[in-house]
């Protein structure tokens, strides 16, 4: 949460750069209220991951399907699960029957006040091709849940980055299932 005495240094279309009275620098979203990420698992136990080029790291990044909530004009107060449903369909082409909120947390508390909510989606039905909107050029991957860690390490060896929220979501889903096994819930 930002403090009232913070100074706005620059306001862009998507981000606002601020400083505190003590000199801490951070950014806040100009056009959205939060972020959502979705751990979507098919009936045959495949985790749906996305890949897209991310300019800040100058390479492709493997991620959970994800996006912003409240970033559409006249829908600034959309519920987070509504944004998650929209983002899952836009990026992967899937709709989900079952939705569970796994956790809300900060994305990088030293850099931004942005909050992320991770959802768990099952009961999937393919509705469209996906791939994103507005030139996002998202590639969709289907990885059996027992192979996710190795598969992600292999992508890193190729020079791609991997978003750690993938592993957090898998752990949270295991915890939500009540499993006491040392392995994930598969």
Q: Hey, where are the domains in the chain?
A: 1-31, 33-177
131-149 tens-digit pLDDT: 988 888 999 999 999 999 9
Cα 83 to Cα 96: distance, rounded to the nearest angstrom: 13
Strands, E assignment, 31-93: 34-41, 46-54, 59-63, 66-69
Look up the CATH number of domain 33-177.
Answer: 3.90.79.10
Tell me which residues of the chain have a pLDDT lower than 50.
Answer: 1, 180-186
């Amino acid at each position: 949460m930002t403090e009232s005495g913070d100074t706005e240094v620059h306001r862009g279309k998507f981000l606002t750069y601020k400083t505190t009275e003590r000199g801490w620098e951070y950014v806040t979203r100009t056009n959205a209220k939060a972020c959502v990420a979705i751990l979507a698992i098919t009936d045959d136990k495949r985790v749906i991951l996305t890949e897209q080029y991310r300019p800040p790291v100058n390479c492709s990044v493997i991620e959970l399907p994800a996006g912003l909530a409240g970033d559409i004009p006249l829908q600034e107060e959309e519920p987070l699960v509504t944004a998650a449903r929209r983002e899952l369909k836009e990026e992967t082409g899937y709709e989900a029957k079952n939705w569970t909120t796994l956790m809300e947390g900060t994305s990088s508390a030293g850099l931004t006040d942005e909050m992320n909510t991770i959802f768990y989606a099952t009961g999937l039905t393919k509705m469209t091709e996906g791939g994103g909107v507005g030139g996002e050029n998202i590639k969709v991957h289907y990885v059996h849940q027992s192979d996710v860690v190795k598969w992600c390490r292999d992508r890193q060896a190729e020079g791609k980055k991997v978003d750690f929220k993938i592993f957090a979501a898998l752990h949270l889903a295991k915890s939500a299932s009540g499993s006491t096994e040392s392995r994930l819930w598969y």
